[in-house]
Amino acid sequence: MLTRNARICYYIGKVEGGAPSDRGAMVDFVRKRMVLARITGGDGDGDGRSGGGDIATERKTRTKSQTAKPPLYKVILLNDDYTPMEFVVEVLEAVFHKQHAEATRIMLHVHQNGMGVAGVYPFEVAETKTHTVEELARQAEYPLKCVMEKE
């Protein structure tokens, strides 16, 4: 039982028989990250040997927390009979940062199939791009529609 003035001194300890001599054993030794804890009494002399404490061995492990990737949403352009193809290409270049050839390919896909994916983004980005496309179309007085759906 630790008393109020007891200290825990951490230091890297040697394995029995001394430190490993070859490189492979040294790597294994370092990877294990063994830390010896000397629980000393509160005498405060700092030598780490007095006080009659017990030696406890514990392994320090690091837990890697992985953040979950956000769900992605497809931003889909819908075809209509009134919006010019050039306007759709300009929107794809301006809002989705597509090259002219890629924007033309997506526009033709939308024209031929009725809809096409302009990009895949996290929710907030997809929502912003959807609103931006619809706002640009509204300002230009075109009925271009853009929707998003979970991938």
- pLDDT tens for 31-44 read 554 443 444 444 44
- SS3 label, residue 99: coil
On the question of pLDDT at 89 being above 60, the answer is yes
Q: What is the pLDDT of residues 2-12, one digit of tens each?
A: 445 545 444 44
Q: Which helix (H) or strand (E) holds 57?
A: strand 55-59
pLDDT confidence of residue 93: 97
On the question of pLDDT at 127 being above 60, the answer is yes
pLDDT confidence of residue 86: 96
**Amino acid at position 102, single letter:** E
On the question of pLDDT at 66 being above 60, the answer is yes
* Contact in structure between 144 and 77 (CB atoms under 8 Å): yes
**Mean pLDDT, residues 132-141:** 97
In angstroms, the CA 108 to CA 131 distance is 22
Residue 39's beta-bridge partner residues? Answer: 8
On the question of pLDDT at 91 being above 70, the answer is yes
Cβ of 88: how many Cβ atoms within 10 Å? 26
The chain-wide mean pLDDT, for the chain, equals 78
**Which has the closest alpha carbon to 34: 10, 63, 2, 8?**
10
On the question of pLDDT at 123 being above 80, the answer is yes
